[in-house]
Amino acid sequence: MTPNVLSSGSRLLIVGILLLIANVSVAQRSAPPSTFESFLNTQWWLGLRFGLNYTQPVASEDYYIFSPLDYDAENLQKTYDVFNLGGGQAGLDLSFYHKGISIGLQPTFKIMRYSYSNYFEWLGSGDADRLETAVNVEQSIQVIEVPLIVKYEILKRGKVRPFVLAGLQQSFVINAQKKAEVMHTDYLADVPQTYSGGDFSIGNTDRMSNFFGALGGIGTSLDYANIRTVIEITYLYGLSPITANGNPFSENELVGIGDVNDQLKINNLNAAISFVFPLRYIDKTFQPY
């Protein structure tokens, strides 16, 4: 009898231990988040932001110095280079984060650059009666850009937190500079002669206007010590013109060499890195790694 009683007691003890382990496991799973997790769940972040950008100009309306009579006006269209000149940017990164979603402002000083070229040809009665002119232009624009951005984290825990973002931005033009290089090729001699028609540099801030656009992108956050590093790649799609073309031919020193602004919208590809700090409080709690 005794062995059977001990055997039954042993079985009851084992079952009791298993139930206790199960209860502890469930309790651990339903336990409230740690102090560190609570710290990150709702937080203000502020820091500095730096990056590069490349611009894609898009002509919505073309303007020409000459009025074609016996040829197609498309021959006078400018050729725009796409994403070929880099610009820089620096600013602030301020955001409010709550459980995977953040809303933020990124006021940024940005320098954008793009280039285009135009080509003119005059033909006479003979092969020697020919003159070609190439105008190469580089436009630099300085703006204060204020984007309003919403981010959604794909992974909400860990050192690496990838996210997607979308938003709207308003840009205020503060300065613009245009450089133009003119080259002529004359076929009057037996050997064509190419010579410079001059280099020109003018300020054309008054020919530019404030503009706005929509943006989207991807990125990731990297946490270490009391610093969060945020890496972003965004694409800005221009929704309004950047050129002020009420009368593009007036007060334009470059009209004489064949240059006039088209009505342009610009798209912008950005790569930026931010170093941000939590604002709610900073103490020894935020040392997870």
Q: Are residues 3 and 72 in the same domain?
A: no
Which residues in 153-171 are b (16+ Cβ under 10 Å) and which e? beeeeeeebebebebebeb
Is residue 51 domain-shared with residue 25, that is, in the same domain?
Answer: no
Residues 6 and 130 in one domain: no
Q: What is the pLDDT of residues 206-235, one digit of tens each?
A: 889 999 999 999 999 998 777 889 999 999
The C-alpha torsion from 6 through 8 and 12 to 15, rounded to 10°, is 120
Count the domains in the chain: 2
Residues 50 and 25 in one domain: no
Instruction: Say what the pLDDT of residue 119 is.
Output: 85
pLDDT at 84: 93
CATH of the domain at 39: 2.40.160.20
Least confident of 59-68, 88-97, 105-114: 59-68
Cα first-last separation, the chain: 59
pLDDT at 288 over 60: no
177 and 191 together in one domain? yes
Residue 30: is its pLDDT beyond 80? no
- The answer to whether residues 152 and 249 belong to one domain is yes
Distance CA 94, CA 279 (A): 10
pLDDT band of 42, cuts 50, 70, 90: confident
Assess if residue 287 is contained within a domain.
Answer: no
